[in-house]
Amino acid sequence: MWFVALHGEPPSEEIAIDEGVSEMRPLSGIVDTPEKLAPSQVGVIVWVALFGLVGVLAAVHRFMDSAVRPDDPEAASETAVADGGRVGLPWFRTEDRWVVEYHDASDAMEGILAMGGLTILAIVFAALFTGEYLTLARTQYFGVYATGMFVSLALLTVAYYAWFLPHVQVAERREHS
């Protein structure tokens, strides 16, 4: 199906812009990309993008899940919190919900470094995006800067989760009383 779908639009010429009307250069870019895509080609691209996104999400999700769990039994027993039902936040437990697993956050130094670096990166990309907006407004550059900014923010969240959030699992009764 994808083989057929990719036989969409034939190549076409770039749209000519009258530079006397606007100082913007939305079509200036880093790489040559197609000028137009047929709906069938769009379908292939969006499904490839979705599978790629799902793959990245799964990898990140698994990293987050493993990073917050202590690897070895010794570490597990050291970071396990057992305070007779007092760990975590007040809403973790109700009459129908209770905490089944809790490990304190590691608060490791590498977490501080990662979050610091990623914060700077996100700010740099946001500044570049703003600069592009105020100057040539090139679409491909917007794409690079926005992607960089959002990836930085995603990784910033991952770092916070991995190093500064306690690992908590709750169990909840399905049938509420």
Partner 1 sequence: MSRIDRLSERASGASGRAYGWLDDRFDVERGRRFLGKAFPAEDSFLLGEVALVCFLVLVLTGIFLGMFFEPSTTGVEYEGSVQKFQGEEVPESFASVLQITYDVPFGMFIRRMHHWAAHLFVASIGLHMLRVFFTGAYRNPREPNWVVGTGLAGLAMGAAYTGYALPFDEFAATATGIGYNLATSVPLVGDVIGKAVFGGEFPSSATIPRLYFLHVLVIPAAIAVLLAVHMAILVRQKHTEAPRDDDVPGQGARPADGAAAPGEASAGDAGDAPAVSDGGEATVAKEDDTVVVGLPAFPNQAAVSAVVFFLTLAALSALAGFLPVHNIAEYGPNNPAATPELIMPDWFLMWVYGFLKLLPTWMSFTVLGVHVSTEFLGGVVLPTLVFAAVALWPFVDYREEPTHFTASPLDRPWQTAVGVAAVQFIMVASIAGMNNLLGRALGVGTGTVNPILSAALVVVPVVSGLVTYYVLRGGSEAADADTTTEAVDDD
Complex with partner 1: residue 88 or 117, whichever CB lies closer? 88
| CB nearer partner 1, residue 36 or residue 127 | 36
The nearest distance, CB 110 to partner 1, in angstroms, is 18
Helix, strand or coil, per DSSP, at residue 8: coil
Minimum distance of partner 1 from residue 176's CB (angstroms) = 9
Least distance in angstroms from the C-beta of 40 to partner 1:
5
Helix (H) or strand (E) holding 121: helix 109-134
> By the 8 A CB rule, do 171 and 98 touch?
yes
Q: How far is CA 52 from CA 71, 88, 126, 143, 176, in A?
A: 29, 35, 24, 17, 39
Looking at beta carbons only, is 80 or 112 nearer to partner 1?
A: 80
